[in-house]
Amino acid sequence: MTMGEMRIRPSQNKVSCSILLLTAVFLLPVGGLAFYSLSRMAATDYSGWSLNQIIRGGDWLAPCFFLPLLLAVIWLMVKTFWDNLFPPVIKNGVRTTARVMNFWQTGARSGRDVQVGLFLELRLPDGSPVDVKTGIMIPWQHAENLKDGMTAEIVYDPAKPKKMVVESLVTTPAAAEPSK
């Protein structure tokens, strides 16, 4: 790094407490209802009942509604945590730099981190430009240091150049000054 250069790395927020709390608040009542309806259904003696009587009884209705909903919420929760714990890795990725053409704060926050949207211009080895829009989480203290013209260190997939991961943002004194 040169004098005056600053490197901003995306936040490594492993588990978001807000997602965990919201999921728990949702899962507890839905899980309780599913458990209650299944235990009630299991406690009923269906011997001697016809299929028509079971259907009219309605005991099967609640589990059929709540179980798929509960499984969908559990799947979304596990997928979110999995993506946070193991961020995307681009196999056979090419490490290069891209220019930040524009940036904006999305308003999303997670703890002390803010989400920033980036519009990047990436130059492929043949010289053709590729415009990519992405977002990263950074510590809130660094949000005021973002400037148009910064350099982003990225890894991209040569087969799909728009599939990329931002490793860090680098601001130099020249990039921090407005162009004349």
Residue 177 has pLDDT above 50, yes or no: no
DSSP, collapsed to helix, strand or coil, labels residue 15 as coil
- Taking a C-beta distance cutoff of 8 angstroms, is the pair 96, 129 a contact? no
Same domain, yes or no: 122 and 158: yes
Between strands 113-123 and 94-110, the pairing is antiparallel
116 and 102 within one domain? yes
CA distances 76 to 27, 40, 72, 169, Å, are 12, 28, 6, 30
- Verdict on whether the full-model pTM lies above 0.75: no
Same domain, 28 and 56: yes
pLDDT digits (tens, 9 = 90+) for 28-73: 776 776 677 666 665 666 667 776 776 677 666 666 777 787 778 7
Q: What integer pLDDT is reported at residue 14 of this predicted model?
A: 47
| Position 108 in a domain | yes
Given a contact cutoff of 8 angstroms between Cβ atoms, the answer to whether 172 and 5 are in contact is yes
Residue ending a domain, choose from 37, 60, 85: 85
Q: Are residues 167 and 109 in the same domain?
A: yes
